[in-house]
Amino acid sequence: MSPAGGAQGPSDEVTGALRASGGSGGSVPRASSAIRALQAALAAENSAIYGYGVAGAHLAGARRAAAVRDWVAHENARDALTAMLTARGGQPVAAAAAYALPFSVHNAPAAVSLAAVLEDRVAAVYLGLVALSEPSLRAFGAARVRTAALRAAAWRGSTLAFPGFEVTPSSTPKTAARAGGS
Protein backbone atom coordinates (compact mmCIF):
# COMPACT_ATOMS: atom_id res chain seq x y z
CA MET A 1 0.00 0.00 0.00
CA SER A 2 1.33 3.40 -0.87
CA PRO A 3 -0.15 5.88 1.62
CA ALA A 4 0.82 8.91 -0.43
CA GLY A 5 1.97 9.52 -3.96
CA GLY A 6 5.70 9.05 -4.24
CA ALA A 7 6.02 7.04 -1.03
CA GLN A 8 9.28 5.23 -0.64
CA GLY A 9 9.72 1.52 -0.19
CA PRO A 10 12.54 -0.09 1.82
CA SER A 11 14.86 -0.51 -1.18
CA ASP A 12 14.32 3.13 -2.15
CA GLU A 13 15.30 4.20 1.38
CA VAL A 14 18.53 2.24 1.30
CA THR A 15 19.40 3.43 -2.20
CA GLY A 16 18.77 7.03 -1.16
CA ALA A 17 20.87 6.57 1.97
CA LEU A 18 23.73 5.12 -0.05
CA ARG A 19 23.58 7.93 -2.60
CA ALA A 20 23.55 10.59 0.15
CA SER A 21 26.53 9.02 1.89
CA GLY A 22 28.56 8.91 -1.31
CA GLY A 23 28.37 5.12 -1.55
CA SER A 24 27.86 3.61 -4.97
CA GLY A 25 28.75 -0.02 -4.38
CA GLY A 26 31.96 -1.69 -5.41
CA SER A 27 35.13 -1.43 -3.38
CA VAL A 28 35.00 1.39 -0.83
CA PRO A 29 37.01 2.22 2.27
CA ARG A 30 35.96 0.69 5.59
CA ALA A 31 34.66 4.03 6.88
CA SER A 32 32.34 4.29 3.87
CA SER A 33 31.03 0.79 4.57
CA ALA A 34 30.24 1.85 8.12
CA ILE A 35 28.50 5.02 6.94
CA ARG A 36 26.46 3.05 4.38
CA ALA A 37 25.40 0.47 6.98
CA LEU A 38 24.48 3.21 9.46
CA GLN A 39 22.49 5.07 6.78
CA ALA A 40 20.61 1.88 5.89
CA ALA A 41 19.80 1.30 9.58
CA LEU A 42 18.65 4.91 9.89
CA ALA A 43 16.36 4.48 6.87
CA ALA A 44 14.91 1.29 8.37
CA GLU A 45 14.28 3.04 11.70
CA ASN A 46 12.53 5.95 9.94
CA SER A 47 10.36 3.46 8.05
CA ALA A 48 9.51 1.65 11.31
CA ILE A 49 8.57 4.93 12.99
CA TYR A 50 6.18 5.68 10.14
CA GLY A 51 4.78 2.14 10.19
CA TYR A 52 4.12 2.21 13.91
CA GLY A 53 2.17 5.43 13.42
CA VAL A 54 -0.09 3.59 10.99
CA ALA A 55 -0.31 0.45 13.16
CA GLY A 56 -1.00 2.40 16.34
CA ALA A 57 -4.00 4.07 14.76
CA HIS A 58 -5.71 0.66 14.55
CA LEU A 59 -4.83 -0.64 18.02
CA ALA A 60 -6.30 -0.12 21.47
CA GLY A 61 -5.51 -1.00 25.07
CA ALA A 62 -2.36 -3.01 25.80
CA ARG A 63 -1.55 -3.46 22.11
CA ARG A 64 -1.63 0.28 21.54
CA ALA A 65 0.58 0.82 24.60
CA ALA A 66 3.05 -1.76 23.24
CA ALA A 67 3.03 -0.03 19.84
CA VAL A 68 3.74 3.33 21.48
CA ARG A 69 6.65 1.82 23.46
CA ASP A 70 8.09 0.29 20.30
CA TRP A 71 7.56 3.52 18.35
CA VAL A 72 9.49 5.45 21.01
CA ALA A 73 12.24 2.80 20.97
CA HIS A 74 12.60 3.31 17.21
CA GLU A 75 12.76 7.08 17.69
CA ASN A 76 15.54 6.58 20.25
CA ALA A 77 17.39 4.26 17.85
CA ARG A 78 17.00 6.86 15.09
CA ASP A 79 18.52 9.50 17.35
CA ALA A 80 21.43 7.20 18.29
CA LEU A 81 22.11 6.42 14.62
CA THR A 82 21.96 10.11 13.72
CA ALA A 83 24.57 10.86 16.40
CA MET A 84 26.77 7.97 15.24
CA LEU A 85 26.63 9.16 11.63
CA THR A 86 27.39 12.74 12.57
CA ALA A 87 30.33 11.66 14.74
CA ARG A 88 31.76 9.78 11.74
CA GLY A 89 31.36 12.78 9.45
CA GLY A 90 28.28 11.39 7.68
CA GLN A 91 25.22 13.42 6.79
CA PRO A 92 22.15 11.57 8.14
CA VAL A 93 19.49 11.18 5.47
CA ALA A 94 16.19 12.81 6.41
CA ALA A 95 13.07 10.71 6.77
CA ALA A 96 10.63 10.58 3.88
CA ALA A 97 7.17 12.06 4.30
CA ALA A 98 5.60 8.63 3.78
CA TYR A 99 6.68 5.02 3.25
CA ALA A 100 5.14 2.18 1.27
CA LEU A 101 3.60 -0.44 3.52
CA PRO A 102 3.83 -4.15 2.66
CA PHE A 103 0.02 -4.50 2.79
CA SER A 104 -3.09 -2.48 3.61
CA VAL A 105 -3.79 -1.90 7.28
CA HIS A 106 -7.47 -1.37 8.14
CA ASN A 107 -7.89 -3.30 11.39
CA ALA A 108 -6.11 -4.51 14.52
CA PRO A 109 -4.99 -7.92 13.18
CA ALA A 110 -3.36 -6.25 10.15
CA ALA A 111 -1.74 -3.66 12.45
CA VAL A 112 -0.26 -6.43 14.62
CA SER A 113 1.06 -8.18 11.51
CA LEU A 114 2.56 -4.90 10.28
CA ALA A 115 4.40 -4.42 13.58
CA ALA A 116 5.95 -7.90 13.25
CA VAL A 117 7.01 -7.23 9.65
CA LEU A 118 8.51 -3.87 10.60
CA GLU A 119 10.63 -5.52 13.28
CA ASP A 120 11.70 -8.31 10.91
CA ARG A 121 12.86 -5.71 8.39
CA VAL A 122 14.72 -3.69 11.01
CA ALA A 123 16.50 -6.84 12.20
CA ALA A 124 17.52 -7.66 8.63
CA VAL A 125 19.04 -4.22 8.07
CA TYR A 126 20.99 -4.28 11.34
CA LEU A 127 22.76 -7.40 10.09
CA GLY A 128 24.64 -4.94 7.85
CA LEU A 129 26.30 -3.53 10.96
CA VAL A 130 27.03 -7.00 12.33
CA ALA A 131 28.91 -7.75 9.08
CA LEU A 132 31.40 -4.90 9.62
CA SER A 133 34.85 -5.41 11.08
CA GLU A 134 34.62 -2.66 13.72
CA PRO A 135 33.82 -4.32 17.09
CA SER A 136 31.71 -1.45 18.45
CA LEU A 137 29.48 -1.37 15.37
CA ARG A 138 29.20 -5.16 15.34
CA ALA A 139 28.12 -5.16 18.99
CA PHE A 140 25.66 -2.31 18.40
CA GLY A 141 24.19 -4.11 15.37
CA ALA A 142 23.94 -7.44 17.21
CA ALA A 143 22.14 -5.81 20.12
CA ARG A 144 19.68 -4.13 17.72
CA VAL A 145 19.04 -7.39 15.83
CA ARG A 146 18.26 -9.07 19.15
CA THR A 147 15.96 -6.26 20.26
CA ALA A 148 14.06 -6.20 16.97
CA ALA A 149 13.76 -10.01 16.98
CA LEU A 150 12.29 -9.97 20.48
CA ARG A 151 9.79 -7.28 19.53
CA ALA A 152 8.83 -9.21 16.38
CA ALA A 153 8.34 -12.38 18.42
CA ALA A 154 6.12 -10.49 20.86
CA TRP A 155 3.95 -9.22 18.01
CA ARG A 156 3.92 -12.48 16.08
CA GLY A 157 3.54 -14.78 19.07
CA SER A 158 6.52 -16.85 17.94
CA THR A 159 10.12 -16.34 16.96
CA LEU A 160 12.07 -17.01 13.78
CA ALA A 161 14.97 -19.45 13.78
CA PHE A 162 17.33 -16.86 12.26
CA PRO A 163 16.01 -13.32 12.80
CA GLY A 164 16.83 -11.04 9.91
CA PHE A 165 17.40 -13.91 7.47
CA GLU A 166 13.81 -15.01 7.01
CA VAL A 167 12.35 -11.69 5.89
CA THR A 168 10.09 -12.15 2.91
CA PRO A 169 7.99 -9.51 1.25
CA SER A 170 4.36 -10.19 1.97
CA SER A 171 1.34 -8.82 0.20
CA THR A 172 -1.19 -9.95 2.81
CA PRO A 173 -0.98 -9.90 6.58
CA LYS A 174 -0.67 -13.18 8.43
CA THR A 175 -2.41 -13.92 11.69
CA ALA A 176 -0.33 -12.57 14.55
CA ALA A 177 -0.89 -12.10 18.25
CA ARG A 178 0.51 -9.85 20.92
CA ALA A 179 -0.15 -10.73 24.52
CA GLY A 180 -2.72 -8.55 26.22
CA GLY A 181 -5.54 -6.36 25.02
CA SER A 182 -6.88 -5.63 21.58
Q: What is the pLDDT of residues 103-159, one digit of tens each?
A: 999 999 999 999 999 999 999 999 999 999 999 999 999 999 999 999 999 999 998
- pTM, to two decimals: 0.76
Q: Which DSSP state fits 99?
A: B
Residue 179 lies in a domain: no
pLDDT in tens, 53-62: 999 999 999 9
Is the pLDDT confidence value at 18 over 50? no
Say how far apart CA 26 and CA 108 lie, in whole Å: 43
pLDDT of res. 11: 40
- The CATH number of the domain where 91 resides is what? 1.20.1260.10
**CA torsion through residues 44, 46, 48, 50, sign:** negative
Is 168 part of any domain? Answer: no
Q: Is residue 148 part of a domain?
A: yes
The answer to whether residue 32 scores a pLDDT higher than 50 is yes
- Give the separation between CA 12 and CA 44, rounded to whole angstroms: 11
Residue 14, amino acid: V
**Domains in the chain, number:** 1
For residue 174, tell me if it sits in a domain: no
Residue 8 backbone dihedrals phi, psi, to 5 degrees = -95, 145
Distance CA 73, CA 76 (A): 5
Answer yes or no: is 175 within a domain: no
Tell me whether residue 96 is in a domain. yes
25 vs 133, residue with greater confidence = 133
pLDDT value at residue 162: 79
- pLDDT for res 166: 65
Q: Please state, for a pLDDT cut of 70, what percent of the chain lies above it.
A: 74
Report if residue 69 sits inside a domain. Answer: yes
Domain, as residue range, for 70? 10-156
Write the CB contacts of 23 (distance below 8 Å, at least 6 apart in sequence): 32, 35, 36, 39
Q: Taking 90 as the threshold, does the pLDDT of residue 25 lie above it?
A: no
Q: Is residue 176 part of a domain?
A: no
Mean of pLDDT values over 92-102: 96
CB 126 within 8 A of CB 139: no
